[in-house]
Amino acid sequence: MDFFFNPRGIAVIGATPGKTKGGNVILNNLITGFKGKIYPVNPRYKEIEGLTCYDSVRRVPDPADLAIVFIPASMVPQAILECVEREIPGVIIESGGFAEAGEEGIVLQETLKQIAEETGIRLWGPNCMGLVDTARRHVFSFASPTIWNENFVPGKVSLIVQSGMLSGVFLIDAMTHGTLDISKVCSIGNKADVNECDILEYLMKDPETSVIGLYLESIANGRRFMEICRKSEKPVVLLRGGKSVKGAKAAMSHTASLAGNNAVISGAMAQAGVLEASDFKQMMDICRSLAMFPPCPADSPASLRGEGREEGGRIAVLTYSGGAGIVSADFIAASGLELSELSPLTLAAMKTVFPDWMPVSNPVDLWPAVELNGAKRAYETAVSAVCADPHVDALFLHVFVGGFALKPEIDSVAKTARDAGKPMFCFLLGDREETWQFQKQAQRLGVAVFRELNRCVECMKAVFEQKKILERRKFPVSTGAGVPLPEKWTEAMKGRKGSLDEHLSKRILSACKIPVVEEKIAASVEDALSCASTFGFPVVMKGLWPGKMHKTELGLVRLGISSENAVKTNFESLKSAMPESGKVLIQKQIHGELELIVGLIRDPQFGACVMCGLGGVLAEVLEDAVFGVAPLSKVQALDMIGRLKSQKLLNGFRGAQPLDREMLAQILICVGDLGCICPQIKEIDINPLIVSKGKPTAADALVVLNG
């Protein structure tokens, strides 16, 4: 991949002297920043922008490592074949008109994929804006020439963006507002060959990148993506388009992408230690914060003392407004962070700048201190005091500029926070021009500045969670070498398609060490009475109608059968409601405190995935479910359970016995292993998994085979 980022020479196929044309913009962007050889290619011209123009890429001289293509889509395959002949290893195709444009475009894109597979040439795009590398001043793109009006201040955040125009917008917005110093922006478009995994792998090793942000409408290879993220210590922040049904439809029309199952992808990303964002600006702000405040190294003084943001997230709020302090405290509490309990020494130090009548507490309302001593002394005293407090992990500074004499000496307070090794976040309001200047200055000094309280707290949360996220990446990965399915059950599934009946499904699960309710098929009324006597009343009676999945809707589930007469009546009723091949299943009725759902699906991007969530009525009300990519290790399974929202219910609500998490984790592992061992299994649905006295047992289950 290095020839995309560090080529010695570039051929521009589709270069043109027309100033308003993309081929000319690409050429001029190269002339402005690229130090290597540049070869315009267009058979209609002998020279463009003072450079020799070639009629074919086959005739460009050495060195030529990269070609940028900006010609009509129908001409692109032939141009790529000529690049193959010229032995150019990589091509960035910025032309549109491929899979995003309909049937003809899909055929053209498939042709490109075939060329790449057969020849080994790497194709970036099509339908993209290429690459911008601020450190090297490489603009391999038709991005607007106005990009050169701003200073290229190299940063540590690199972006991989599926949308072409959005990548250019990100870059220009960040550069002109001074909010984010970017290393690289990679627009990948339709991903005919090179995809996010290829570029992510490159950026993980890139010394100029410390944080990677992605906007994707699909993930080309889910398991490879997860594996790359697991191996890295660099933060990865992902924003996904196409989460909703209509969003997914828009993604199809935009880049011909399959958006995938939203819940599955979220579970996979959590498992891989990827932080998800919910909008573009939030993604950028989180990336910026993580680049400014990386986790403390394990051997740092703060870490060795047991201090530092990876241990807590205790925030000191220094504000000029009591109301802003209260709202900040609300956001901090809602995020899971906490307000610091300031030490007596800290309070005493701050008291020196406050009037006698004013008590000091966190949030610290600095306005009376500013009135008495001025903004400089008030802010510097407060910042110095909280930076020395071992119970403070970060500072949340509120600043107003442009009036009221509230502006602190940002150089001084920023240095105090830096020297103490404590992140400083700033909520900024004020005059438009002054806030812009203050923000640029503060950012350069290592202060993360925001215009919204909640966004500031979201980014604090991301910084403090990063240590946990990195730890999640280190969780042991299962090899999937679980208990093999006995041959009798493998044979039982041979030749079958669709849904197995409940009884057979549970016998297969039981063979994989998954606890199931006691049950038996009753061949007659006498057999049913014997089963009920063995299990003890009450019992459950079910009708198993071959080929029918939804027993409840068909009236084939009878609960609370408490007498021999009821057994007789319901046996006859169930038999008469089904064809002759129907069977009656007798089960011991379990009285539980909680109902869960456990399942398995096969996702097109991630393969076998395990699901765990709340069952019963609560499932529809709370929609609390999590996914994990199989096979699962024990730590990963326990982490899945820990990601459920309803932890109070799992921990034993109102005197109920807590869930045996180890037992549930083992069930999740077994379900995942079964899915990996038996590729003919399409789905597994254990619903409900009843928790009785803390122990989960499968009361109903369904195994669905590939059709």
CA 220 from chain centre, in angstroms, equals 14
Check residues 405 and 68 and name the one with the higher pLDDT.
68
3-state secondary structure of 48: strand
Query: What's the rounded Cα separation, in Å, for the pair 183 and 421?
Result: 24
651-696 confidence digits (pLDDT tens): 987 778 999 999 999 999 999 999 999 999 999 999 899 999 999 9
Report the topology of domain 2-291.
Answer: Rossmann fold (3.40.50)
Quickly state the pLDDT bin for 474 (edges 50, 70, 90). Answer: confident
Output the pLDDT for position 342: 97
pTM for the model stands at 0.87
Q: Is the pLDDT of residue 152 over 90?
A: no
pLDDT-based confidence at 212, cuts 50/70/90?
A: very high
pLDDT value for 172? 66
CA–CA gap between residue 641 and residue 651 (Å, rounded): 11
CB contact burial 293-329 (16+ within 10 A = b; e otherwise)? bbbbeeeeebbeeebbbbebbbbbbbbbbeebbebbb
Q: 167 or 404: whose pLDDT is higher? A: 404
pLDDT at res. 134? 87
Amino acid at 479: T
| Class of domain 594-705 (CATH, top level) | alpha beta
Write the pLDDT tens digit of every residue in 7-58: 999 999 999 999 989 999 999 999 999 999 999 999 999 999 999 999 999 9
How sure is the predictor about 176, in pLDDT bands with cuts at 50, 70 and 90?
low
Please check the confidence at residue 179 and state whether its pLDDT lies above 90. Answer: no
Q: Which of 75, 40, 68 is nearest to 56 (CA)?
A: 40
pLDDT digits (tens, 9 = 90+) for 539-581: 999 999 887 877 888 889 999 999 999 999 999 999 999 998 8
Residue 468: phi, psi to the nearest 5?
Answer: -65, -40
Residue 600 near residue 661 (C-beta atoms within 8 A): no
The amino acid sitting at 216 is: L
Tell me the mean pLDDT in the region 184-208. Answer: 95
How many residues are given for the chain?
A: 707
Rounded CA-CA distance 139/132 in Å is 4
Find the mean pLDDT for residues 491-517.
Answer: 91
3-state secondary structure of 86: coil
Measure Cα distances from 146 to 27, 46, 436 in Å. 14, 28, 20
DSSP conformation class of 366: -
How much helix, strand and coil, in percent to the nearest 5, is found in the chain? 40, 20, 35
From CA 259, how far away is CA 83, in angstroms rounded?
Answer: 32
Domain ranges of the chain: 2-291, 298-473, 519-589, 594-705
How far apart (Å, rounded) are the C-alpha atoms in residues 572 and 565?
11
Q: Are 37 and 64 in contact (CB under 8 A)?
A: yes
pLDDT at residue 299, rounded to an integer: 41
CB 225 within 8 A of CB 219: yes
Instruction: Reduce the secondary structure of 547-567 to three states and give it as a string.
Output: CCCCCCCCCCEEEEECCHHHH
pLDDT tens, 246-302? 544 544 343 333 334 788 999 999 999 999 999 888 999 999 999 999 875 444 444
Compare 101 and 475 and report the one with higher pLDDT: 101
Tokens 């190294």, located at residue: 297
Residue 547 is predicted with a pLDDT of 79
What mean pLDDT do residues 450-454 have?
A: 95
Angle at 8 between CA 7 and CA 12, to 5 degrees: 75
Same fold, 2-291 and 519-589: no
Confidence bin at 440 (pLDDT 50/70/90) = confident
In CATH, the number for domain 298-473 is 3.40.50.261
HSE-up of residue 40 (Cα within 13 Å, Cβ side) = 24
Q: What angle do CA 15, 21, 22 make, to 5 degrees?
A: 70
Residue-wise DSSP of 227-239? HHHHH--S-EEEE
Q: Quote the crossing angle between the two packed helices 280-292 and 453-473, to the nearest 10°.
A: 70
Among 685, 311, 337, 379, smallest CA distance to 509 is for 685
At position 274, the amino acid (one-letter code) is V
pLDDT above 80 (res 620):
no
Report phi then psi at 273, rounded to 5: 75, 35
The Cα 70–Cα 66 span in angstroms is 13
d(CA 535, CA 471): 47
Which helix (DSSP H) or strand (DSSP E) does residue 288 occupy? helix 280-292
The hierarchical CATH code for the domain 519-589 is: 3.30.1490.20
| Position 471 pLDDT exceeds 90 | no
> Would you say residue 182 has pLDDT above 80?
yes
Tell me the pLDDT tens digit for each residue of 401-431. 988 888 999 999 999 999 999 999 999 999 9
Calculate the CA dihedral of residues 31, 37, 38, 41 and round it to 10 degrees.
170
